[in-house]
Amino acid sequence: MAKVDEERILNQWDGPGEAEDVSAGGVVFRRLERDGVSRWQIAMMRRTDNGGWDLPKGHLENGENHEQAALREVNEEVGLEAEIVLQLGESRYIADTRRGPKRKLVVWYLMRATPYGQNPRPQPGETVDTNWIDLEGAIPLAVYPTARVILLRARRYLESLKEKAL
C-alpha cells in the first residue's frame, strides 16, 4: 500500500474541528519460534457487535492518558498483560453512530505481551473470540481499513528488527 493511501485511510476526517471521541488501542505481538522458523503473531479479537476481527481499543476513562487506556483496553478485550514498545500512529475517521456522524481519533501503540506465555482470552460482552494470528494473516483479516494500515506499520517496524531481541 502506498504512503499516500495510508495517510488517506488514517485521516479520513481531515477537516476542522476537534475529535469528539478519543480512544487508544494496542497491537500486541509475540515472536513464535517453531521448528527453526520464527514468525510474528498479533493478538486479535472477534467483536460481538459485527463479528469482525479487530484490534483492542477503547475510550479513555477519567484521568487516563492514551498509554494507560491502551493497556487497560488490551487487558479488558483480549485478556493480556503487555508493555508499550512505541506509538504506531493515529487514526482519524468519521464514525456512524446512533446520534449521527462523529469525528473519532484513535492513538495506537505497539505492545509486547508480558509475560511471554500468555494466551488471549475472550471477554464476555466485549469479544466472542480471541487468538494469536500470524501477522501476515492478520492484515487481510482485520475488518477495518484503519486497523489494516496500523498492522502494516507494525509489520514494517517488526521486520526492521530482524533477529534483534525483543
The b/e string for 48-72 (b: 16+ C-beta within 10 A; e otherwise) is eeeeebbbbbbebeeeeebeebbbb
User: Residue range 16-27: average pLDDT?
Assistant: 82
What pLDDT does 164 receive? 58
What pLDDT does 1 receive? 43
Is 90 exceeded by the pLDDT of residue 115? no
Helix axes 145-160, 3-10, angle to 10 degrees: 130
Confidence of residue 53 (pLDDT cuts 50, 70, 90): very high
Which cell is 1 given? 500500500
Indicate the pTM of the whole model. 0.86
User: Residue range 41-60: average pLDDT?
Assistant: 93
Q: Which CATH superfamily is domain 3-160 in?
A: Nucleoside Triphosphate Pyrophosphohydrolase (3.90.79.10)
Confidence of residue 31 (pLDDT cuts 50, 70, 90): very high
Confidence of residue 125 (pLDDT cuts 50, 70, 90): confident
Confidence of residue 138 (pLDDT cuts 50, 70, 90): very high
